[in-house]
Amino acid sequence: MLQVWALDGIPEIAAGTDLVDTIAARVGDTLADGDILVVTSKIVSKAEGRFLTAADREEAITAETVRLVARRTAPGGHVTRIVENRLGIVSAAAGVDASNTPEGTVLLLPVDPDASARALARGLRDRLGVEVGVVISDTLGRAWREGQTDHAIGAAGIHVFEDLRGQTDAEGRPLVVTMPAVADEIAGAADLVKGKATRRPVAIVRGRGDLVGSLDLPGARSIVRPAERDMFRQGADEAYADGFAAGVASAQT
Amino acid sequence: MLQVWALDGIPEIAAGTDLVDTIAARVGDTLADGDILVVTSKIVSKAEGRFLTAADREEAITAETVRLVARRTAPGGHVTRIVENRLGIVSAAAGVDASNTPEGTVLLLPVDPDASARALARGLRDRLGVEVGVVISDTLGRAWREGQTDHAIGAAGIHVFEDLRGQTDAEGRPLVVTMPAVADEIAGAADLVKGKATRRPVAIVRGRGDLVGSLDLPGARSIVRPAERDMFRQGADEAYADGFAAGVASAQT
């Protein structure tokens, strides 16, 4: 049985808020070994003071962008940029967020979400004496599918993949290519209880204690597929345009 | 509180097995209004007799393919095709599955997973007198991220999106672009209890009864983004090659 619930009563988080204090005060003695806390990246960013003035939104996106992956101008003129940010994550607007932030400001992603997750997991383990894992989640769009789901952008103290590559299926054949990204599934499960429009940014997932382990396990960065191994490292229109230009140049020489 | 658990004791499913009978026999009287059943597409395919002989695997992939999206040859010579299948779903190998099937056979996806989900939801509602939703799940890879997560490829009696587009955030600003694909998150949550290597192909998700509704709600097909609106409708290498050829042709005329 998997149980997932959101913590009520998490107060507004400001720059400098100690999230270990805040969460420890709300969980009381309900946390148990093997629980996984899923924390919305937004409150981690707020605690880390990752605010910028809103006038800088497009600049902030540019600053957070390592590589433009795709770009589309909607009929109304609104430009959507899909970019790879400095964390390697491909998303719209580099994770620069203007919702649920004080008027006139935007929020950047945490500097290093895996490090943030590790600090939180270590702090909660020390404070409460329970071996918990931490996932830091963000809402991401997907290729090929409408809507968004929550994904793990930071993780500590958990196996982000359930590695079945040595195992066999029920017929005894090897499950060669199956590697469930359980940290993403956990982030998505937590989204089902957190809600977007309310202030319930922390959820607890209980029932997969087998995934919880050392704080030195690889973080969510290991879920990111490096661009050079990604068949979708560039939007179709952008790749076509690059190819077209190269084709013209090649024919002219 | 969200609760997710897998049904034990689901027997091997053969062509013609009545899944309503099979599931009803296992849930007893534990199902309640608002529960969502997540059924692995594999057992739906088996019940529908979607077997082909394994010699036909590459042919089966080709037959299920509407459009080649990307193709990669690994150093070892193994070819991975990412294709759009007749359901609009972009995935590796068009969902043609050779694991956990009788030796010498492969399994195709259900003919119409939304219709399969509707039949199952209607049958269980009629049989057990409870208003349940049904999601049919499949394991899919993603662009930009390693590993796989379970997604909804069929759905009935549930809202596949939690539509927040009329709502405002905690600061009163509209949540304009947020449309959580909750059916995918539900499929992923169910995967956390089902396991890949074991025979637990049915899970129950309890606690989001607000998503359960009419059997006429749009199915999982509505999650599929039409190719013409998809910035990643083609792999980067394929788009580049098409562009290059067009560029050469353009320069030569």
Asked if A208 is an interface residue toward chain B (Cβ–Cβ < 8 A), one would say yes
Residue A174 has pLDDT above 70, yes or no: no
Q: Which pLDDT score, from 0 to 100, does residue A104 have?
A: 81
Q: Which pLDDT score, from 0 to 100, does residue A197 have?
A: 61
| Assigned token pair, A157 | 């103290």
Amino acid, res. B177? V
Torsion over CA: A229, B182, A188, A54 (sign): positive
User: Chain A residues with CB inside 8 Å of B242's CB?
Assistant: 240, 243
| Least confident range of A120-124, A198-202, A240-244, B82-86 | A198-202
In order, the DSSP letters of A197-232 are SSS--EEEEES-GGGB--TTS--GGGGBPPGGG-TT
User: Chain B residues with CB inside 8 Å of A166's CB?
Assistant: none
Taking an 8 Å cut-off on Cβ atoms, the answer to whether B1 and A4 are in contact is yes
Question: In this structure, are residues A192 and A82 in contact, taking their beta carbons and an 8 Å threshold?
Answer: no
- For residue A45, which of A23, A22, A65, A17 has the smallest C-alpha distance? A17
In order, the DSSP letters of B113-160 are HHHHHHHHHHHHHHHH----EEEEEEEEE-SSBSSEEEEEEEEESB-S
Q: Which pLDDT score, from 0 to 100, does residue A196 have?
A: 62
Crossing angle, helix B113-128 and helix B19-27, to 10 degrees?
50
Question: In this structure, are residues B153 and B142 in contact, taking their beta carbons and an 8 Å threshold?
Answer: no
Burial class (CB in 10 A: 0-12, 13-18, 19+), B84: buried
Q: Which pLDDT score, from 0 to 100, does residue A48 have?
A: 97
Give the H/E segment covering residue A125: helix A113-128
Residue A59 has pLDDT above 80, yes or no: yes
Taking an 8 Å cut-off on Cβ atoms, the answer to whether A164 and B188 are in contact is no
Higher pLDDT, A56 or B175: A56
Percent of chain A scored above 70 by pLDDT? 94
Distance CA A94, CA A64 (A): 6
Burial class (CB in 10 A: 0-12, 13-18, 19+), B225: buried
- For residue B40, which of B172, B129, B140 has the smallest C-alpha distance? B140
Low-confidence spans in chain B with pLDDT less than 70? 165-166, 169-176, 196-198
Distance CA B92, CA B84 (A): 9
Pick from B160, B244, B253 the residue to mutate for testing the A interface (most A CBs within 10 Å): B244
Q: What pTM value is reported for the model?
A: 0.95
Taking an 8 Å cut-off on Cβ atoms, the answer to whether A143 and B232 are in contact is yes
| pLDDT tens string B41-58 | 999 999 999 998 877 788
Distance CA A140, CA A1 (A): 27
Helices (H) and strands (E) in chain A, counts: 6, 10
